[in-house]
Chains A and B, each alone.
Chain A
Amino acid sequence: MDRAGFEALVQAYGDSLYRTALWMCGDPQQAEDLVQETLLRAWRGLGRLRDERAVRGWLITILRREHARRLPRRLPAAALDPDQLTAAAPEPATTLSIRAALAALPGAQREVLVLQLVWGFSCAEIGDLLGASPTAVGTRLFRARAALREAMAHKKGGLG
């Protein structure tokens, strides 16, 4: 095994994959397992894939499939537990509030936001990855941001 090559893969994509996995499953230990499995599967076949964008798309595809494969074993959860998404170190209150609102979003809306803002994919690229049209992706993004803004406005109103 080419250890240096694997470590380069971890270095380049490990953090983003972990964040994506955590926003998918909401469980840090399971997220770590998903990342490990994704990188191992990817590493066995990545040798000839040179285009960086294609590599990222492939990693996401493997991660989603691995998550879907494990899904039936998990108890159904309507929303993620925000307590599982926080750091040991203090973070700004706004960050925690938005994170809680993100955790309450439907998974499909949260997923497109992660792909757009963590990975930098365009609507068309997200559509290719999810098997959806760019318009459908745009609609999910619109609804996700609208819901987050409303949640934040409601929170401000409640505090005020």
Chain B
Amino acid sequence: MNCLEFRRRLLEDPQDPALAAHRASCDACRAAALGADAFEAQLSAALQVPVPVGLGARLAVAAEAAAARRHRRRALATGFGTALAAAAALLVFWLPPPLLAAAADHVRHEPALLAAADRPAVPDAELVERLAGVGLRAVGSLGTVTYAGACHVRDQDAAHIVIDDPAGPITLLIMPSEPVGARSSFQDGALHGVLVPLGTGSMAIISDEPEKSRVAASRLASALAPT
């Protein structure tokens, strides 16, 4: 490392261990580093903006309130669900929406998630967590995942994943409670998808082109495995 490189890296990361050797061997750079150390201490102090008194207590209270609200909503939903189930039993000709239409509808109602190009990649840990939530783990690369969220398809827990593929965004809907017998393709408006069996359920791979979905389905089905 020469002096120019040392001075540049001193402004990038003064704690970088790689600076130690040059610092020890160059008097001028050692003096510069001492000045940087002092500035760094002042900078760290300035970044430690004061935290309001009682912040932790207020956060705990807010969390309790949020938990209580969720509990009330669940209780309400359970009561409503029971009434709905009784009413539904009376509808002899009632049929659930087909899985494929439900998957396509779900993607159509989340258009912002398809605009994946300018999103940062989802951290690995978050993706691992999301996949584990639907009983899966990655055994191969999924590509650049720009969104990984929990959702519901036909009232069942599912994972909604968007991959920023070189050919354009691809959406995965992983539905662990929706088993299918065999792979099938579908089109719904401008959306083209492939539905494949996966683990205890199924996965829909949806994009704007049939070939893109087909290629992605082959690759992604082998990149995921049950936990």
Residues in B neighbouring A40, C-beta threshold 8 A: 62-63, 66
Our pick among A7, A23, A61, A145 for the contact of B126 (Cβ within 8 Å) is A61
- Is there contact, CB below 8 Å, between B51 and A18? yes
Tell me the bound Cα distance from A146 to B12 in angstroms. Answer: 9
- Is there contact, CB below 8 Å, between B49 and A85? yes
Our pick among B43, B50, B67 for the contact of A148 (Cβ within 8 Å) is B43
In the assembled complex, B42 has its CB within 8 A of some CB on chain A: yes
Tell me the bound Cα distance from A48 to B50 in angstroms. Answer: 32
Interface size on A, residues (CB 8 A): 60
| Majority secondary structure, B binding face | helix
In the assembled complex, B56 has its CB within 8 A of some CB on chain A: yes
**Taking CB as reference atom, which chain A residue is nearest B150?**
A45
In the assembled complex, A14 has its CB within 8 A of some CB on chain B: yes
Using a CB–CB cutoff of 8 Å, the interface residues on chain A facing chain B are 1, 3, 6-7, 10-11, 14-15, 18-19, 22-23, 28, 32, 35-36, 39-40, 43, 45, 48-49, 51, 54-55, 57-58, 61, 85-89, 92, 94-96, 98-99, 102, 113-114, 116-118, 122-123, 128-131, 138-139, 141-142, 145-146, 148-149, 152
Q: A35-B59, A55-B125, A94-B46 are in contact. List 16 more A-B contacts (CB 8 A).
A: A6-B60, A7-B60, A19-B49, A32-B55, A48-B129, A54-B123, A58-B123, A61-B120, A61-B123, A61-B126, A87-B50, A113-B43, A117-B43, A117-B47, A141-B13, A145-B39
Using a CB–CB cutoff of 8 Å, the interface residues on chain B facing chain A are 8-9, 11-13, 39-40, 42-52, 55-56, 58-60, 62-64, 66-67, 119-126, 129, 132-133
Which are the 9 A-B pairs with shortest beta-carbon distances? A131-B120, A54-B125, A87-B50, A98-B46, A1-B67, A138-B12, A145-B11, A142-B11, A99-B46
Subset of 29 A-B contacts with CB under 8 Å? A3-B60, A6-B63, A10-B59, A14-B51, A19-B47, A23-B49, A32-B55, A35-B55, A36-B62, A39-B63, A49-B129, A55-B125, A57-B123, A58-B125, A61-B126, A88-B50, A94-B46, A95-B46, A96-B46, A98-B42, A117-B44, A117-B47, A118-B48, A123-B13, A131-B120, A141-B11, A145-B12, A145-B39, A148-B43
